[in-house]
Amino acid sequence: MNAECPRCAESDQAVSVPRASSDPGLPLGAPERALLLPPPPPVPAKTARSNPASVLYTVAGVITVLGLMHLAKGLPDPEVADPSYRLGYILGPSLLSVPLAVVGLVVQLATRQRRVRVAEEAAGARQAVWERCHRVWQAAWLCRRCRVAFFPKGAVDPAHPASPALAVAQFPMWVTTTAERVFGVPEPTGPR
């Protein structure tokens, strides 16, 4: 397909943007060439650690450290202290810190599952937006003579009109806007 440039009305120097972005003979500088690159793919979302679980882990750690400090001072005198008191002195900190750590683990796992589910739903919407932008990017053309980007009539969608000549600096935003106008903004997938 040969596309006619809206500025110079010639088609001999018009090339598709995917071809132009990899063409070493294109008379564009590095900043302009970077603007012609395809839209970056979506980055997977990272799930953070649960703040309540972190607090529970910290409290359990502090209790354990304090218990170890008391043990480092020495055990109570066997003649004065009852054996059950000595057992409580040794095991007391762990009887409190271990359940706190277990509760922290349960809270962290429950929070992580919810956050992963929400991140996956958002990733589906971001992927749909990227696919639409990439499809529009593939339909774009560049005039080497005028150094302008454009969309020929019917290139994006059969009913889509031809675009005006666009400065290369406006091209990335025009791709995003055109994708939203032609294909709409995707709805989130699944219930929240």
Burial status of residue 12 (CB atoms within 10 A of its CB: 0-12, 13-18, 19 or more): exposed
pLDDT tens digits along 29-81: 778 888 888 888 888 777 777 888 889 889 999 988 888 887 788 766 666 67
Please give the Cα distance from 124 to 111 (Å, whole number): 20
pTM here? 0.62
What was the pLDDT predicted at 52? 87
Structure confidence at residue 192 (pLDDT): 45
Of 2, 1, 13, nearest to 146 by C-alpha is 13
**Residue-level pLDDT at 150:** 92
CB 104 within 8 A of CB 53: yes
* The pLDDT value given to residue 188: 54
Instruction: Count the helix, strand and coil residues of the chain and give each as a percent rounded to the nearest 5.
Output: 55, 5, 40
What pLDDT shows up at residue 189? 53
CB atoms within 10 A of CB 191: 6
